[in-house]
Chains A and B, each alone.
Chain A
C-alpha cells in the first residue's frame, strides 16, 4: 500500500510535468495573440506594446517563459493579463460560485440514476423499464440549451420565479427567509438542467451493468440457496454491479473545476466554465494555463482516489 502510494506520486508527477509542457506549447502555438501586444491594435502605441511584452516576459525565449510561468504559479504570483488581478484569487472566487451547482448537480445525478437504473434492470421489460428508457433517450437527445429555455419558460412565466444569475438583482434588504428561498430557486434550475444529461446516461449505464451481473452464475447460485429475491438482487447482484461506478466516482472530481459553459452562459452564472471560456477568447494565457494545470491535478488525484476505492471494494484487487 505504502509502495503503491509512493509509486503513484512519482508517476503522476511525471505525467503532470508532461501535461504542463504540452499545454504550454499548445497555447503558444495557437494563432492569435493578446490584444495588448497586437501591433495592429490602435489603442496602444508601439512603446506600450513593447512595455506589455516585457511585463508578460513575451520577449524571452519559450523555455524561459515556461519556467517563469510555472515559477509564478507555484509561488502564487501569477496575475491575469486582462486586469492584473491574482489568478488564483479569481479562480477561487469563481470556484466558490460553481461549487453549489456542482454539488447539487452531482447529488441529483447519483441519487436518481441508481434507483432508476437498478429498478429498470430488475423489472426488465416492465412498464417502468420502458418508461424510463423512453425518458432517458428523450433527455439524451434534447439539446441542453433548448431544454433550458423550456424550463425557464415554465418557471418564470408559470411560477413567476426569476432564475437568471445567482440571485435576484436589487433584492435589497428583504427577510432572510426570502433571501434564502431566492438563492435556492436560482440554484435549482441550472442544477437540474446540468444533472438531466448525467441522470439519463448514468441510469442507462447502471441498468446495463445490473443486467449483466444478474446473468452471472453466482446470482443463480444465490437463488439456488433459497435466498429471497431482494437479497439476491440487492446483496449478491448489486454489490458486483457497483464496482465499475466506484472508478467513476473518483473521476467526477475534475468536474469541480470544469463547470459548464452552456449552462453558466444561459443563466448568467458567474462560474468557472464561463471564466475559462472568456479567458480563451481574450487570450488571457495565465488563466487558461492555470485552469488547465489545476484540472490536470484534479484528474490525477481523481484516478488515485479511484484506485484506492476500487481496492477497498473489490477483494480481488491488491495494489
Chain B
C-alpha cells in the first residue's frame, strides 16, 4: 500500500434504520483516499451522505439508528472500524480532528472557550495546567484572535461568528492532528469572513503539515482550496479527479449540471441553469444509476444497471459508462 496515503475509505456503507425498519442507505459504497498534507474536497448536495461519511471516520455516527454495514476506513494503515470506543478516543481530537459547520451550536455555551480548547490538550497531552494555558494562548494567536489571553475567559456567545469558527479551528489544531475534517466550515459565515477562514486554513495547513478533508456544497470553496475533488451523489462517488480536471473537463452529467448551475458574469441576464428534479430519498433510491431520473443523457441501461467507474486517465474517474462510450465513438 502507498505509504503516502494517510486515510483510505474503502467501500464504506452506512445505513440508517427508520422506524418502519427500512434501511436508508445514506452512504452506499464510497471509497476515497487522502494523501499526507493534501487537501481533498467532498462535494455534493445536502443529504448526499458527505457528512455521514466524514462522521464515520471518527466513529461519531449515532448507533442506533445508524449502522456501518460494510467497508474499511484505513487511517495510517490501520482499520478504524473495529476499534473500541476507548481506542477511538485516543485518535479523536489527537490524530484526526474535526471542525463543524455551525460554530455557535458546536461550542458549549456554558464553558469558557479557554477551557474548551484546553480540554483536548489535557486529554491527549500530559502537560500541566500552566503549559496548557500557554498552548491555548499560542493557538488563539495562530488562528488570528486578538488579545488572546483575555479571550480565554470569553464565553462563545461573546464572540462573533468568524471568531467562533477560529476558536473551533484552534480547538481542532490543539494536538497537531495529521488530518482535519472540516464539515462545511464556512457555510454559516459571511462571505468576507469565509475568505479569511479559508485563507487561515491554508496557512495553518502548510505550517502544521496536515491533510484536510473539506466537506462542502460550495464549488467556489472547492476551486479555492482543493487539490483533488470527489463528487458525491445519493450516497455514492460519481466523479473524482484533480481540481483542474473536474472544473475544466467534467465527465459526469451531475458534475456538469453542478458547474453549469453556478452563476457567472458571462451568463448575466440569462436564466440560471438548474438540474431538473431533486435528490432521491435515500430510503427509495432508483434502480440502476441513482442519477438517471434527472439525467439528460439517460438510456435504458442506466435504469437497469448500476454504473461502473470509467477511467479518463491521470486519476480522473467518472461513473457514467454512457458518456464514456459516446466519447470513444466520436473520438
Contacts and interface: CB of A to CB of B under 8 A. Distances in A.
B136 interface: no
A217 B88 CA distance: 19
B110 A222 contact: no
A313 B110 contact: yes
Given A224-B60, A224-B92, A315-B155, A236 B85 contact: no
B26 interface: no
A207 B86 CA distance: 26
A39 to B, nearest CB: 65
A315 B157 CA distance: 9
A243 B109 CA distance: 11
A314 to B, nearest CB: 6
B93 A226 contact: yes
Interface stretch (B12-20, B42-50, B117-125, B299-307): B117-125
Contact of A316 (B60, B106, B157, B171): B157
Contacts of A313: 110
B89 A218 contact: no
Contact of A240 (B97, B108, B120): B108
Interface residues of A, number: 21
Interface string B79-123: 000000110111111100110101001111111000000011001
B40 interface: no
Nearest to A313: B110
Contact of B123 (A216, A225, A229, A236): A225
Interface string A85-111: 000000000000000000000000000
A239 interface: yes
B167 to A, nearest CB: 11
B58 interface: yes
B100 A226 contact: no
A223 B92 contact: yes
Given A223-B60, A224-B60, 6 more contacts: A225-B92, A226-B120, A227-B120, A227-B123, A240-B109, A315-B157
Interface of B: 58, 60, 85-86, 88-94, 97-98, 100, 102, 105-111, 119-120, 123-124, 155, 157, 168, 171
14 contacts: A217-B102, A218-B106, A220-B60, A220-B106, A221-B108, A222-B108, A224-B92, A225-B92, A225-B123, A226-B89, A226-B91, A240-B109, A316-B109, A316-B157
